Amino acid sequence: MTQPNLFHGSYNPADVTFLLKQVQIATTDVALKERAIQTGAAHYSEMLSPEKNPTPEYMALFHRALALNGEKHAGHIASLARTIAARGSRTPVVVSLARAGTPVGVLLHRALNHLGLQSTHYCVSIIRDRGVDWAALDFILARHKDTDITFVDGWTGKGVISRELLASVAQYNGLRNANIDGTLAVVADLCGSASLAVTSEDYLIPNAVLNSTVSGLVSRTVLSAQYVGPGDFHACAFYDEKRELDVSQLYVDAITPALLAAIASPHRAFQRAWTSGQCATLQGISQRFVADCMTRYNASHTNYVKPGIGESTRALLRRVPDRLLLADPTAQDVQHLVALAEAKQVPVDHVADMPYRAAAIIMSVND
């Protein structure tokens, strides 16, 4: 095992430590990557596609999303912080999932510290079909109690990552004789797969609009024998060349005042864990929607259906979408999706009765 070179991305060191291995990774064209994924020639985690720099017009949509939903998002993170603090640990360990969970983790970590707790925040990798990074968990457990750990992400789509995390951590616990809670805490749980969430509303979490430039200039994580040896952390690229475009620190600093005000509010109600009934209802809605989309749009795999604003954004930024579905194309929360669809010439369908504000269908390479 190589000695890990810890880093903080473009965040202040006090905000997060990335348990990732920085490497130089050759990029793969989006269309070639999509074909490799769908034909089984390569796993998605073995490739990175180039990240295009956001245009000034697109950045304006990010700032509009921050103005529109920043205070709401702050209130939701305050609720998560209060609930986690109520569990009783004086030294909570926030473990965010790269990358969408990272800004949420930074803000949650700040909130817990504001509540007088000695919080620590790490960002780790989790890969669909391959699990959470065990080397990162080993690093954390060498320094913290297993029962202090809370895994955090921004939202759920279909619950794939929630289930992956639960299964991977259960296996890790069995082999390492540990007692880590493998459930996930999120802001918005669309499909009832998180153990702790504030809302099931499909709303625009502002950091969903951007990729690395709101996530510490860190790429999506990579797991390939070419870059990751035995005992290494999962890999990533660090986009230092995008520093002039970076809003990672700006974003968390902009939301923090509203976050601290929400924590101090004596009138704010704080969220408890979902009940089994709530989970079952949300899971049923999700499963019916995915099944209907697969039939209606001839999608051959559930992985090709991406429900929710967050997952639709990721699909439009990183994949080859066949179409974008919007409940209301004029809604402010989806205007960045409209812009992305126009730029990539992706058809937009108005589906007024869908249970989410947005969904994306990935194009099949066999079509």
Dihedral-angle region of residue 150 (phi above 0 means left; psi in -120 to 50 means alpha; beta otherwise): beta
Q: What is the pLDDT of residue 273?
A: 66
As a whole number of angstroms, the distance between CA 346 and CA 73 comes to 29
The pLDDT value recorded for residue 272 is 59
- The pTM of the full predicted model, rounded to 2 decimals, is 0.94
Q: Which is nearest to 239 in space by CA: 95, 27, 4, 97?
A: 27
CA dihedral 116, 117, 121, 127 (to 10 degrees): -130
Residue holding tokens 């924590």?
263
Cα 220 to Cα 21, 127, 158: the distances in Å are 12, 10, 19
Query: Cis before residue 143, ω within 30 degrees of 0?
Result: no
Q: For all residues of the chain together, what is the average pLDDT?
A: 93
CA–CA gap between residue 343 and residue 58 (Å, rounded):
11
pLDDT at 271: 57
What's the CA gap between 121 and 71, in Å, rounded?
Answer: 22
* pLDDT score of 266: 65
- Segment 135-161, tens digit of pLDDT: 999 999 999 999 999 999 999 999 999
pLDDT recorded at residue 232: 96
| 221-273 confidence digits (pLDDT tens) | 999 999 999 999 999 999 999 999 999 999 999 999 999 999 988 665 555 56
Is the pLDDT reported for residue 216 higher than 60? yes
Q: What is the pLDDT of residue 290?
A: 97
The neighbouring-strand residues paired with 321 are 362
d(CA 94, CA 120): 6
3-state helix, strand and coil shares in percent for the chain, rounded to the nearest 5: 45, 15, 40
Spatial separation of the C-alpha atoms in residues 77 and 271, rounded to whole Å: 10
For residues 355 and 306, is the Cβ–Cβ distance under 8 A? no
Task: Grade residue 40 by pLDDT with cuts at 50, 70 and 90.
Answer: confident
Q: Which domains does the chain have, with CATH numbers?
A: 17-264 (3.40.50), 276-362 (3.30.1330.30)
- Secondary structure letter of residue 7 according to DSSP: B
Asked if 215 and 207 count as a contact pair (C-beta separation under 8 A), the reply is yes
> Among 18-22, 219-223, 265-269, 337-341, where is mean pLDDT lowest?
265-269
Query: In this structure, are residues 93 and 146 in contact, taking their beta carbons and an 8 Å threshold?
Result: no
